[in-house]
Amino acid sequence: MEFRCDARTLSEYKVVPMSLLSHIIEVLESRAVSLRLAGDLSLAFAAWADPASVSPEELRQERDRCLAVTGAQRRYFDVASLGFLYQCLPEDEQVREHVVDGLTWMAGRSIRVEGNYADFCGDSLALLGMALGLRATQSAGDIYKWLQTVLQADVGKEAAWDTSIRELARHAIGDTTGYEIVAEVKLLGFSKGVLKGPLDSSDAERVIAHLKIGSISQMSDPEAFSLLSAFKYLEGSQPLLALQTPNVAAVALVLANLKNGLTRWTWEAKAKTAGGVPRKWHIDNEYHIQNLLWCILRPLFPEAREEEYKSAVGKVHPRLDIVLPSLRLIIEAKFWRRRDSSKEIVREIAEDSGLYLTVDKPYDAILPVIWDDGRRIEEHDSLRQALMEIDGIVDPVIIARPGLMDDESFLAT
The Cα 310–Cα 359 span in angstroms is 12
Tell me: pLDDT of 16 over 90. no
Provide the residue type at 70 as one letter. Answer: T
Cα–Cα distances (Å) from 137 to 90, 95, 96, 99, 181, in that order, read 9, 10, 7, 8, 25
Q: Return the pLDDT at 17.
A: 52
DSSP conformation letters of 216-276: HHTS-HHHHHHHHHHHHHHHTTS-S--TTS--HHHHHHHHHTHHHHGGG--B-SS-SSTT-
- Reply yes or no on whether the pLDDT at 376 is more than 70: yes
Contact between 198 and 5 under an 8 Å Cβ cutoff? The reply is: no
The residue ranking higher by pLDDT, 271 or 362, is 271
Locate the domains of the chain by residue range.
Answer: 7-235, 258-411
DSSP 401: P
The dihedral over CA atoms of 170, 173, 175, 177, expressed in degrees to the nearest 10, equals 20
> Smallest Cα–Cα separation from 184: which of 156, 220, 133?
220
347 band by pLDDT with thresholds 50, 70 and 90? very high
190-194, 310-314, 334-338: segment of lowest average pLDDT: 310-314
Q: Which of 204, 294, 219 is nearest to 255 (CA)?
A: 294
User: Would you place residue 317 in the very low, low, confident or very high pLDDT band (cuts 50, 70, 90)?
Assistant: low
Read off the pLDDT of residues 214-268 as tens digits, 9 standing for 90 and up: 778 888 899 999 988 888 877 666 555 565 667 888 888 888 888 888 888 898 8
Taking residues 264-280, report their average pLDDT. 88
Mean predicted confidence (pLDDT) in 361-374: 90
Structure confidence by residue, pLDDT tens digits, 172-226: 998 877 788 888 999 899 888 898 766 666 777 788 777 877 778 888 899 999 9
According to the model, what pLDDT value does residue 10 have?
Answer: 42
Q: What is the mean pLDDT of residues 341-365?
A: 86
This prediction has a pTM of: 0.59
CA separation for the pair 159, 167 (Å, rounded)? 12
Confidence band for 120, pLDDT divided at 50, 70 and 90: very high
pLDDT at 405: 84
Q: Rounded to 5 degrees, what angle do the CA atoms 283, 287, 291 make?
A: 80
Annotation: CATH topology of 258-411: Trna Endonuclease; Chain: A, domain 1 (3.40.1350)
DSSP code at position 280: B
